[in-house]
Copies of this chain bind each other. A is one copy, B any other.
């Protein structure tokens, strides 16, 4: 056991000050959900996680509670935890909410966006357009996040920004995005990105920016619904 050794005084160890075990467990699971290696429905066994992380189940439980509160995992009493699945209805709710908060975050950012930011965003969008030919939903979604992140990451309201992150995290649970299902959507999405950047460059008022950004995401949702309904 490590209990006998006095790690505190002489031994820097890793860095016990920065991360409690429950925090470690939280990040561990969150990363795996975001990266997609824990797909929807993936069964999380507390004792197994505790073994993997070399800790007891108590910190793991705390991490699970936090993730549960963020709707990333579903916890059923006496049964266990699974990564929250996204059925079409949940997808609708999540996308609608993301449209709301991301649109607002983008609008709040608009006055703070620098020309350099716009250049970076245009560059990312150029890469996206390039990839339209040989299409890979995975990297396309990755680029899509990077594009939008440039435009909302400086959001001055941390609560709103946090909600945006949570929305993206939930979407990350999907192995592939809407772009995989709805053929034409990717190309139109790239065009809408340019329109958004033009509006930002022109210094349009924040109400307009919000409307464009929200509508952009809702359009993806509607494309999915139309396709699924067919």
Contacts and interface: CB of A to CB of B under 8 A. Distances in A.
Interface in A177-211: none
Interface string A37-70: 0000000000000000000001001110110111
Interface in A108-150: none
Contacts of A93: 157-160
Say how many copies of this protein the assembly contains: 2
Interface string A58-86: 10011101101111000001000000000
Interface string A153-170: 000011110010000000
B70 A157 contact: no
21 contacts: A61-B62, A62-B62, A62-B65, A63-B65, A65-B69, A69-B69, A69-B70, A92-B157, A93-B157, A93-B158, A93-B160, A94-B159, A96-B157, A96-B159, A96-B160, A97-B157, A97-B159, A100-B101, A100-B104, A101-B101, A163-B163
